[in-house]
Amino acid sequence: MQTFSENWVQNQLKGVHMKFGHFDNANREYVIERPDTPLPWMNYLGMKDFFGMISNTGSGYAFMIDARKQRITRYRYNGVPIDGGGRYFYVKDESTGTIWSPGWLPVRTPLDFYECRHGQGYTVITGEKDGIRISTRFFVPVDAPMEIWEMDVTNRSGHKKTIDLFSFIEFCLWEALHDATNLQRTLNLGEVEVEGSVIYHKTEYRERRNHFAFFATNAEIVGFDTDRDTFLGLYHGFHDPIAVLEGRCRNSIACGWNPCGAHHIRLTLNPGEVKKINFLLGYGENPENEKFSRKGVLNKKYIRPVIKRFLNRSQSEKAFLRLKKEWDSLLGKFQVQTPMPELDTMVNIWNQYQCYITYAMARSTSYFETGIGRGIGFRDACQDLFGSVHFLPQEKSRQRILDLAAIQWRNGACYHQYQLLDKKGNADVGVGFNDDPPWLILATAAYIKETGDWSILDALADFDNNPNDRAPLYEHLKLSFEYIWKHRGPHQLPLIGRADWNDCLNLTLTQVKPGDTFQADATTADLKDEVGSVPESLMIAAQFVWASKELKRMAEYKKDEAMAKKADRAAKEMIKAIYSAGWDGEWFLRAYDRFGNKIGSKENKEGKIFIEPQAFMGWAGIGIEDGKLEKALNSLRKYLYTEHGIILQQPAYSEYSFYMGEITSYPPGVKENAGIFCHPNGWVVIAECNLGRGENAMEYYKTICPAVREEMSELHRCEP
């Protein structure tokens, strides 16, 4: 079988597009038909607290609530080869000696049949070699913190077969950053216990944790390993473990170094026979005063019944049916039928599914986000609610808004991120992204419009997670408004701060230190000093107008006449400032820099026109009556639109500029320097709809619609 990379080179030369799978709408699944996708194609398991990221080969990792602080298993980002570490199985055929993996990785032996089906909260991976077909369904049940792996082993060969089956996972020592960097400690911590076919990972349980992980199977095992180097062999890899090559585990008990979980199962199958095996990878917790059953021994009283329940196939199948019903209920709340099947596919299934996943973990965990460097993003979480509030249980949306309000400061500024485990603002990143505060108003407005729950305005929320300093949400929203209104620049437009939505447009840099982020270096500029008090954002200006209109409606409901009048007056004054200082004749400017120079103007040599202000003016309804919005969107179409989507800005920056920041650090056409982002493309679709130009909106939508562009998956590389 040719690999993807070999085919990719040939097809690029021929101009031929490749296809790796298809949408199966009847089952609400995406079916991947070959394992060597352009990048690992990920799915997500879990709906509540326990989550897993799983690729089409079974790689990825699991975590409890927080991918940084409570990671269950290891995964190697940007490794060689890619997609290293995960839920691995090895099969050794007794008659031929052939070793293979049902998910292709990590052994990469060519398979006679392969298929991966990504569904909502589950993935099914099937592989066949020499008449043995192994199909495994991975999912997280609604009511338990674990992954369930339901494996069916079928003998399709026509004669009796005996195989050795090995399972393998590698435990993360909980805190993912320390696990990867503080080796002088972590390599001396690892502890496990083994009871029958259950492997318990209890690193740090003896001192500061009351939780543990486990890896279990209901199959009779002939051996196990809990020390990674014993199972793999020091100079071997995931692709050729010494235990598999030799056909036996050594029953190793990890003490420090790298704990793992591996089971050795021997199966003999008659022709047509099916063996059903369950595996569980999960999280357990004990009361602080009941951590041990006797000195040094993990108390298993509470977890044994749970493990027993889900190792039973009839019980795990019931759990899967419950998961399916949960998704039936969520997705069933909004369904469309249109003349465009691709639109139906995305709106009825995949857009809503993606919105739930981003609600659950924002951008904290993906193939490109390691789960270490960030938690839940403030602006991200607010926007995620726009697409999920209609189907989420009301209490989930409500609590997310109150959690976000609780990381706001008394002055109205907001932490840019917070960690899910403790819900505290990320002090390492801090505040100063000035588009954050208005998003809280807009998310609350979206929530009220969908649910009718005006009582949320009276719900109490902390300031900076301080329970002794609280106020009703409505007061938080007014502070968000006041923060922008008080921090305006020379043109009476909002100050940009460290950045707005475009994190790489850093107009307040005062230094650039190797190793720091551009956003970190921007923190040295105060909004009142000579650098921070000048750069202004037209995107935030439009966002503020939109948020002010929403706040006015809330103030009217609260019978707060003074606030209603102030919000109305502020919106009108901001529109005047936009018209007088932000209109460039054919489109809206992007920003002003620290010298008062225009960014996103026809006067600029590079970066003449940007997507964000044109889209946000459309969202806010600015320029509809006098034709300015139509002109701006026409200019956007003329200069930014391509067959592959709308570009962030043009022309791209060809040289680095200290006064522009990170945006100019990327090569032209890459990332924020004139790349194509799906996110703001969606904003333009909304702007065109608000202008009444549905044909344009649909045309733009098709350029970023995965179901439309499925035939050119190799260009996008990521999951459809």
CA-to-CA distance for 323 and 336, rounded, in angstroms?
23
Query: Cβ neighbours of residue 375 under 8 Å, at least 6 residues apart?
Result: 66, 68, 362, 364, 417, 418, 419, 420, 426
* Secondary structure element (H or E) that encloses residue 486, with its range: helix 473-486
| pLDDT tens per residue, range 229-276 | 999 999 999 999 999 999 999 999 999 999 999 999 999 999 999 999
For residue 620, tell me if it sits in a domain.
yes
Of 135, 129, 130, the closest CA to residue 116 belongs to 135
**4 pLDDT above the threshold of 50:** no
451 shares its domain with 495: no
* Secondary structure element (H or E) that encloses residue 345, with its range: helix 341-345
CA-to-CA distance for 225 and 233, rounded, in angstroms?
12
| pLDDT tens per residue, range 567-610 | 999 999 999 999 999 999 999 999 999 999 999 999 999 999 99
CA-to-CA distance for 421 and 619, rounded, in angstroms?
34
Structure tokens at 585: 């004749």
415 shares its domain with 538: no
Q: For position 363, which CATH number holds?
A: 1.50.10.10
Residues paired with 259 in a beta bridge: 227
Task: Report the pLDDT value the prediction gives residue 613, as an integer from 0 to 100.
Answer: 98
For residue 329, tell me if it sits in a domain.
no
CA-to-CA distance for 382 and 152, rounded, in angstroms?
42
- For residue 8, the SS3 value is helix
16: confidence class by pLDDT, cuts 50, 70, 90: very low
Mean pLDDT of 279-301: 95
Q: What is the mean pLDDT of the chain?
A: 93
Mean pLDDT of 712-720: 77
Task: Report the pLDDT value the prediction gives residue 1, as an integer from 0 to 100.
Answer: 47
331: confidence class by pLDDT, cuts 50, 70, 90: very high
* AA identity, residue 113: F
- For residue 370, the SS3 value is strand
Distance of CA 628 to the CA centre of its chain: 36
CA-to-CA distance for 450 and 576, rounded, in angstroms?
31
Burial pattern 694-704, b for ≥16 Cβ within 10 A else e, equals: eebbeebbbbb
Which phi and psi angles does 272 have, rounded to 5°?
Answer: 80, -5
Domain stops at, among 427, 453, 486: 486
- Domain of residue 543 covers 490-706
First to last CA, the chain: 23
CA-to-CA distance for 663 and 607, rounded, in angstroms?
10
User: Do residues 39 and 717 lie in contact, with contact meaning Cβ atoms separated by under 8 Å?
Assistant: yes
| pLDDT tens per residue, range 45-71 | 999 999 999 999 999 999 999 888 999
**323 pLDDT above the threshold of 80:** yes
CA-to-CA distance for 419 and 632, rounded, in angstroms?
39
Range from 113-117, 401-405, 416-420, 635-639 carrying the lowest mean pLDDT: 416-420
For residue 471, tell me if it sits in a domain.
yes
482 shares its domain with 505: no
For residue 145, tell me if it sits in a domain.
yes
Task: Report the pLDDT value the prediction gives residue 717, as an integer from 0 to 100.
Answer: 77
| pLDDT tens per residue, range 181-196 | 998 898 999 999 999 9
- For residue 302, the SS3 value is coil
Our CA angle for 508, 513, 515, nearest 5°, is 120
221 shares its domain with 106: yes
Of 11, 76, 60, 8, the closest CA to residue 37 belongs to 8
Task: Report the pLDDT value the prediction gives residue 9, as an integer from 0 to 100.
Answer: 47
Residues paired with 163 in a beta bridge: 93, 267
| pLDDT tens per residue, range 415-462 | 998 887 788 888 878 889 999 999 999 999 999 999 999 999 999 999
For residue 712, tell me if it sits in a domain.
no
For residue 698, give Cα distances in angstroms to 41, 338, 636: 27, 12, 15
For residue 64, tell me if it sits in a domain.
yes
User: Do residues 453 and 447 lie in contact, with contact meaning Cβ atoms separated by under 8 Å?
Assistant: yes
Q: pTM to 2 decimals?
A: 0.93
Torsion of CA 506, 507, 511, 517, to 10 degrees: -10
- Domain total of the chain: 3
Task: Report the pLDDT value the prediction gives residue 245, as an integer from 0 to 100.
Answer: 97
Which phi and psi angles does 9 have, rounded to 5°?
Answer: -60, -45
Number of other CB atoms surrounding residue 360 within 10 Å:
21
In this structure, are strands 198-201 and 192-195 parallel, antiparallel, or unpaired? antiparallel
Residue whose token pair is 């044909």 = 695
18: confidence class by pLDDT, cuts 50, 70, 90: low
For residue 265, tell me if it sits in a domain.
yes
Task: Report the pLDDT value the prediction gives residue 524, as an integer from 0 to 100.
Answer: 60
| pLDDT tens per residue, range 554-565 | 999 999 999 999
User: Do residues 119 and 349 lie in contact, with contact meaning Cβ atoms separated by under 8 Å?
Assistant: no
367 shares its domain with 268: no
- For residue 518, the SS3 value is helix
175 shares its domain with 265: yes
For residue 651, give Cα distances in angstroms to 182, 590, 605, 609, 639: 44, 14, 8, 8, 9
User: Do residues 180 and 244 lie in contact, with contact meaning Cβ atoms separated by under 8 Å?
Assistant: no
435 shares its domain with 542: no
Domain stops at, among 466, 486, 506: 486
684 in the Ramachandran plot: left (φ > 0), alpha (ψ -120 to 50) or beta? alpha
460 in the Ramachandran plot: left (φ > 0), alpha (ψ -120 to 50) or beta? beta
Query: Cβ neighbours of residue 307 under 8 Å, at least 6 residues apart?
Result: 198, 214, 216, 280, 282
Residue whose token pair is 């999951």 = 719
Percent helix / strand / coil, the chain, rounded to 5: 35, 25, 40
Mean pLDDT of 212-233: 98
CA-to-CA distance for 650 and 631, rounded, in angstroms?
17
282 shares its domain with 372: no
Structure tokens at 145: 């913190």
Structure tokens at 532: 């921070």
* Secondary structure element (H or E) that encloses residue 522, with its range: none
**548 pLDDT above the threshold of 80:** yes
Task: Report the pLDDT value the prediction gives residue 427, as an integer from 0 to 100.
Answer: 81
Domain stops at, among 426, 459, 486: 486
Of 190, 186, 169, the closest CA to residue 177 belongs to 186
Number of other CB atoms surrounding residue 79 within 10 Å:
12
520: confidence class by pLDDT, cuts 50, 70, 90: low
* Comparison of pLDDT for 527 and 283, the residue scoring more: 283
* Secondary structure element (H or E) that encloses residue 335, with its range: none
CA-to-CA distance for 226 and 693, rounded, in angstroms?
61
| pLDDT tens per residue, range 344-379 | 999 999 999 999 999 988 778 888 888 787 778 899
75 shares its domain with 129: yes
For residue 349, tell me if it sits in a domain.
yes
One-character DSSP codes across 422-476 = T--B-TTT-S-BTTHHHHHHHHHHHHHHHH--GGGGGSEEEETTEEEEEEEHHHH
261 shares its domain with 190: yes
Mean pLDDT of 86-95: 96
Of all residues in the chain, what percent carry a pLDDT higher than 70? 96
HSE (side-chain half, CA atoms, 13 Å) at 250: 16
Structure tokens at 131: 């008449």
453 shares its domain with 523: no
297 shares its domain with 354: no
CA-to-CA distance for 385 and 678, rounded, in angstroms?
17
Q: For position 164, which CATH number holds?
A: 2.70.98.40
The catalytic residue positions are: 503
